Structure 1
Amino acid sequence: MNKLPKIDRQREHQANERTFLAWLRTSIALIGFGFAIARFGLFLHQLNLAITQQEPLVHPLFNSENLGIVLVITGIVTIALAAWRYNQVFWQIERGDYQPHRLSIWIITGVVMIFGFLSIPILLLRNPVSSRPTSAFTQPPSPKKLQ
């Protein structure tokens, strides 16, 4: 069952654990970015509302809140895939028949690239801010108040 010396198996298991922790950090980053994108979109929405005094138009499907939620879900799924892959490699090391698979690397790379491309229009297609003064802070004082 164990073809490798004990020290080599130990190194392989430690490498497997480091790989799992790298996937875990990636998952945490995806969740963090998702949370930040969703909250920052809410902040921009409120800022636009405060400046223009009008409810800004938000696309019902393609908006920062939905992108953030999808990124958080992707991060959670990535954690599950990382744990599954860690366990699979663990048993392959124990049996001495490790076979590397690059499919999960390509899938995660593609998913992150797609979300990166989806975030570009959210950044570029902002509603223009009205140039007319609507706030009490931006309106010139009335002549009656100056007297």
Structure 2
Amino acid sequence: MTQESKIDRQREHQANERTFLAWLRTSIALIGFGFAIARFGIFLQQLHITLTHQEDPSRPLFNSETLGVCLVLVGVATIALAAWRYNRVFWQIERGDYRPNRVIVWILTAIMMILGLLSIPLLLWRNREVKSPAIAPSSPAARPSKPAR
């Protein structure tokens, strides 16, 4: 093995590591966003209960918490996929038969597009909730005061 081929192989391995770290950063961001979205959904639910003094009777299957959990799961799966891909590319570089594979990129793109599209109704639903009155008729501030005797 010549000195130049050793340097090329070293560069390929370093590029593989940088790619792995980029996938890792992406998965950490997905987990962070998922956690934030899930917690913010809980905050909005508690705010609704505080302002209206009644729980929301409808608990749809798809809500902010579900979207957040889905993002966390996709982030964890992305970490596993990144480690698998890093190891696979490592051995392809060692054997000298590297073949790029775009299937993983397309699968993650489709998953993220689906989750993004599913978040649109949640955004629109939250905006409708914000437009509702802040003080419900059952709250003490909305009741008419008793005349003084």
TM-score relative to the length of structure 2: 0.86
1:82, distance to aligned residue in structure 2 (A) = 0.3
Opposite residue 75 of structure 1, the aligned amino acid is: G
Structure 1 stretch displaced more, 60-69 or 96-105: 60-69
Task: Quote the Cα distance in structure 2 between the aligned partners of 1:84 and 1:7.
Answer: 24
Q: Which residue of structure 2 aligns with residue 21 of structure 1?
A: 21
**Residue aligning to 2:118:** 118
Counterpart selection for 1:142 from 117, 142, 145: 145
Normalized per residue, the structure richer in helix is 2
Q: Could you tell me how far 1:142 is from its partner in structure 2?
A: 2.5
Name which structure has the greater RCO, CA cutoff 8 Å, separation 6+: 1
CA contact (8 A) 1:51 1:134 kept: no
One-letter amino acid matched to 1:40 = F
Residue 87, structure 1, aligned to residue 87, structure 2: yes
Q: What letter matches 1:135 in structure 2?
A: S
> Contact between 1:31 and 1:71, CA under 8 Å: does it hold in 2?
yes
- Could you tell me which residue of structure 2 aligns to residue 9 of structure 1? 9
Q: Does 1:64 align with 2:64?
A: yes
Q: Deviations over 1:50-100 (max 9, x none)?
A: 111111134341111111111111110110000000000000001111000
Partner deviation per Cα, 1:16-66 (whole Å, 9 max, x = no partner):
000000100110111111101110000000111111111113434111111
| TM superposition outliers: structure 1 runs of 4+ over 2 Å | 57-60, 126-136, 138-144
Look up the match of 1:78.
78
User: RMSD between aligned alpha carbons?
Assistant: 2.3
DSSP-derived class of the 1:104 partner? helix
Note if 1:34 corresponds to 2:38. Answer: no
Counterpart residue type for residue 61 of structure 1: L
Aligned identity (percent) is 65
- The Cα offsets for residues 2-29 of structure 1, whole Å up to 9 and x where unpaired, read as 9x71110111000000000010011011
Query: Is there any run of 5+ residues in structure 1 with no aligned partner, and where?
Result: none
In the comparison of the two structures, how many residue pairs are matched?
A: 144
TM-score w.r.t. structure 1 length?
A: 0.87
> Using the alignment, how far apart are the partners of 1:101 and 1:119 within structure 2?
29
* Cα distance in structure 1, aligned partners of 2:92 and 2:111: 27
Moved more, 127-136 or 67-76: 127-136
Matched AA of 2:9 = R
